[in-house]
Amino acid sequence: MTPLHLSDDRLIEVCLLEAASIAEQEHLGACARCDARRARLRRLLDDVSGAAVAEADAAFPPDRLARQLARILSQLQHDGRPGRLIAFPAGHAHEPTVSRTRPSTRWIAAAAVAGLVIGVLAGRFGHDYPLGRPGGTRIAVTRSADAPDLRTGAILEISTAVSEEEFLSQIEIAIDGPAAAALQPLDDLTPLPWEVR
Amino acid sequence: MAVSVGAVAPVAPLSRDSQLAAEIKALVVGGERDAARDRYGDLVARQQRRAVRIAYQYLRDAHDADEAVQDAFVKVFTHITSYREDLPFEVWFTRILVNACLDLRKSRSRRLRWSVPMASTKESAPTDPATPEQTPEQRLVSRERANEITTAVESLPDRQRTVFTLCHLAEQTAAEVSKTLGVSEATVRVHLFRAIRKLRRLLEHKQ
């Protein structure tokens, strides 16, 4: 028989991790104190595992486990399959196309490009043909009442005039410019009208 | 099937689950994925109860435990070709499960950081380890005792609780836990001793 009592840590090891040596078993058989300590520890561990198991089993009844198993197998069944491709535009559904962007994203990009082009053109147009240029389109501007020359509420007529040819040439200049070149990738992403139909 | 003459026999006989895992691996390697999946269903069914107990004890939330267990099983099948047949499947699986629990805990703590605290969102499972033969008074005492135990286990620091759960509930050896957690066996023992000392302090005087 081992003359020394088993330490608390050794009792834990014996209860949880590994079997007691022959000498330790003999000691536990002969020493009532150590045996009682081991029994108390064993009871505590049983209580803890009993509570944990009961709690987990109550949270996971057999039907929940069955559903979980079904979900796992279903997930595995879909694993490794290629993703579903949605053809765009709709008229070309028969062609196996790889859609890199969602249609809604394309429309947002198209709107953004259209807005930018209009903005660039309008800015350039406004810069080249400032208000006050004689002749052509009439723009009515009401000046504030305290303006000395308009005390009578007179309306200053300002007109800008561009010939059609001049306007188209300005568009061409704008399109050839570096600002428009930067927009080319966005334009490539934008579907053409005949692709959408 | 031809067996190589020079093949080295494993030192210890493999568990049934380890054999099953090895069969599934062979099926996947052989391109028989559907058959492998069918066999895997058996393996999941055998390990599932143990897995949810570990995950629930670790995460303390049934939804999270459900998710972690599902993730772990899917990950195991996805990586079955990297399973080493010389290791017990349980150890490999438990390591993946514990990692899934850790990932979930991290994402949960991130989620909680941004969520508005509710009055009581914690899912409380019906905790009643009492048997039907018990009287109402005995049942009440059992429930109180179960609550005390749950609170005591929850009060353990993370690492201690993990080691205690793996050693006690998952019935892993110190060597297996050290492999699962990537720490030395001595560290496993230290955490286990501390965990049990604390549980004794909290629970024994109430008995």
Please check whether residue A56 touches B, CB under 8 A: yes
Which phi-psi region, left, alpha or beta, contains residue A170 (left: φ > 0; alpha: ψ -120 to 50)?
alpha
Asked whether B164 and B122 are in contact (CB, 8 A), the reply is no
SS3 sequence of B41-57: HHHHHHHHHHHHHHHHH
The full set of domain ranges for chain A reads 8-78, 90-196
Give the three-class secondary structure for A31: coil
Per-residue model confidence as pLDDT tens digits over B131-166:
556 676 767 777 788 888 888 988 999 889 989 988
> Which residues on chain A are in Cβ contact (under 8 Å) with B165?
52
**A50's tokens:** 């009993």
Per-residue model confidence as pLDDT tens digits over B39-66:
999 999 999 999 999 999 888 889 999 9
ipTM (interface pTM): 0.76
Per-residue model confidence as pLDDT tens digits over A120-164:
888 877 666 655 555 444 444 444 444 444 444 444 444 455 677
**B11's tokens:** 């030192």
Per-residue model confidence as pLDDT tens digits over A41-53:
999 999 898 888 9
Which residue shows structure tokens 């595995």? A76
Please check whether residue B56 touches A, CB under 8 A: yes
The full set of domain ranges for chain B reads 13-113
What dotted CATH number matches B13-113? Answer: 1.10.1740.10
A48·B168 Cβ contact <8 A: yes
Give the whole-angstrom CA distance, residue A107 versus residue A114.
Answer: 10
A17·B70 Cβ contact <8 A: no
Provide the pairing of β-strand A137-142 with A155-160. antiparallel
